Amino acid sequence: MNKLAFTKFARTMVQLKDLVPALLKSGVISTEGGLKAMLATPLVLARYRFTTAREVEQGAIACPHRTALIDDSGSLTYSQLRANARIFAAYLRDTMNGNIHMGVMARNGRGIIYPMAAKGFAGATIYLQNIGSSKEQLTNCLKRDGVNILVIDEEFINRFDADAMDIPVIIAHRDSNRDYGYPDLESIIATYIPQQRLPFFPKHGPIVVMSSGTTGTPKGVVRVEPVAPTVLAGILTKVPWRAGMRVQITASMFHAWGWAVFNIALGMRGTIVTHRIFDPERVFRDIDEGKLDGMLSSPIFLKDLVNLPDNDRYDCSSLKFIFSSGNALSPWLVEKMHDRFGKNLCNLYGSTEISAVAVASMEEIAQHPTTSGPICTGTDFIILDENDRPCPTGTPGRIFCYNTVTLRGYTDPNIPMTQYGHLIQIGDRGYLDENGFLFVLGRADDMIIVGGENVYPRSVEEVLEEMPGIADMYAGGVEDEETFKRIAVWVVRSDDYAGQNLTTEAIQNWVLDRLAAHSVPRDVHFVDSLPRTATGKVMPRQLVPPQH
């Protein structure tokens, strides 16, 4: 064992002392399911590590008759979910002769959940495709990564190029009875008779999550499902998430955040409520009628919830926590969430490449709405200046991190990773305050210099978000002949009196009253909508360029 490997091993052993108490407190480690479930835990963990298959298997042993999933197709117990996932795993093994490189392009629900569980049972590598990918992007990803079987929702079937990719296709979710010549997932599970046993100790391939990049071919982020996910300690000690809770997942499961919280929810032996299409009114109905305990979501969805008219007619008093990630929380959104749901909002800061970096509890968010919280247990962290020197407290710099679920690289080996020792640059700038709380200022390449002053477009967005008349907006840096860069904003007016009377001058004055003069946008563009990815991120390259 070399020095680096020994250091990582020793660090993991130390971090486990924090993970076990967190699991005990949450009730995950308990006598639920009796002696049989407790005795089965070491073997199940040895066979499946911390994969979706492990959580499904252990759940079927501990609480077989508990409802595991409620989606658009109905409900499944843990026992049913296990049985169906194993049938599909056997189908994959028999069809692909054990060489399974499975692509999945599906929305939330069993269409993506069955493949994720089957991956662990069969011993496969899975590639979660971004549902916002174009036909060309999907084809490039499948070819680059050597995908040899594709599971895809019917609504995306027109993005699969059958002429370019001669591979088996399975329809995950059907919206019609149209015959494409491909089998569908539900029919396979209902009729398939396995030809051989599944491997007792499967050979686990990685899970590959596609980046949410807005141009070019999405990067394939390679992550190995860990034996000991020590970052869980940082989550379970900050979020009042307990075993057996009923939770709603609106975060997209094809993305790193949605995939992570889905697996944690299974590991908590909870009941998961999810839908393929986000509908704020249905979310409220689910919480009210199902008396749900928690919500796992992203700011793009939370904003729609607080903006839904007359949402106070739904009873959401059962919610013990709302856990958000995927985009930055703004002070405006925190205030609105507190007004509607109470002070139960928690936040995770991380990335597709790194996973969890910092977690803020509901108390910390209430006290410091703009903080990402303290650094997560199990995450190594440093902030460096441009010369790779550690930044003093309060001084912004580039964020570098590492933990047990950090990426192992990209499927394209030519894509570089900026590293400092074993730590990897996350791509954001931020600073730590005197209490060890992380404050993220934005993407490292988003910061612009206007007349010699540093400006973060995110700060402009935060002050504009609370301005009456603005339904949606984006701020970014554009070229300027005199100052090299300047701030421009793209604004979607709200459908009311304030929106109808919104002017460029009003927006500029609003910013000037709250920020320094160099942060005032010189360009204000009124648009009907903003181009966003499937995970809610604005695609700047598709915005109309400013007119000089």
Higher pLDDT, 224 or 164: 164
448-542, CATH topology level: GMP Synthetase; Chain A, domain 3 (3.30.300)
Q: What mean pLDDT is predicted for residues 492-513? A: 94
**Given this model, what pLDDT does residue 9 score?**
47
Secondary structure of 5-40 in HEC code, one letter for each residue: HHHHHHHHHHHHHHHHHHHHHHCCCCCCCHHHHHHH
Q: Where are the alpha helices (DSSP H) in 27-177?
A: 34-48, 52-62, 78-96, 110-122, 135-145
Residues whose CB is less than 8 angstroms from the CB of residue 298 and which lie 6 or more positions away in sequence, other chains included? 250, 251, 252, 257, 324, 325, 326, 327, 535, 536
Q: Which architecture characterizes domain 76-226 according to CATH?
A: 3-Layer(aba) Sandwich (3.40)
Closest by alpha carbon to 117, among 84, 94, 146? 84
Closest by alpha carbon to 521, among 340, 542, 470? 470
- Give the separation between CA 433 and CA 373, rounded to whole angstroms: 10
Helix (H, G, I), strand (E, B) or coil at 376: coil
Residue 548 has pLDDT above 50, yes or no: no
Q: What percent of the chain has pLDDT over 90?
A: 70
The span from the first CA to the last CA of the chain, in angstroms, equals 60
pTM of the model: 0.87
- Whether 457 and 476 have beta carbons less than 8 Å apart is answered as yes
371-441: CATH number: 2.30.38.10
- Whether 251 and 296 have beta carbons less than 8 Å apart is answered as yes
> In this predicted model, what pLDDT tens digit does every residue of 67-80 receive, in sequence order?
999 999 999 999 99
Phi, psi of 460 (to 5 degrees): -70, -40
> In this predicted model, what pLDDT tens digit does every residue of 195-248 receive, in sequence order?
999 999 999 999 999 986 555 789 999 988 876 667 788 889 999 999 999 999
Instruction: Indicate the domain borders of the chain.
Output: 76-226, 371-441, 448-542
The 8-class DSSP code of residue 547 comes to P
Binning pLDDT at 50, 70 and 90, where does residue 532 land?
Answer: confident
Helix (H, G, I), strand (E, B) or coil at 176: coil
**Given this model, what pLDDT does residue 49 score?**
87
- Residue 209: exposed, middle, or buried by beta-carbon count in 10 A (0-12, 13-18, 19+)? buried
- Give the separation between CA 411 and CA 496, rounded to whole angstroms: 48
Q: How much is the mean pLDDT over the chain?
A: 90
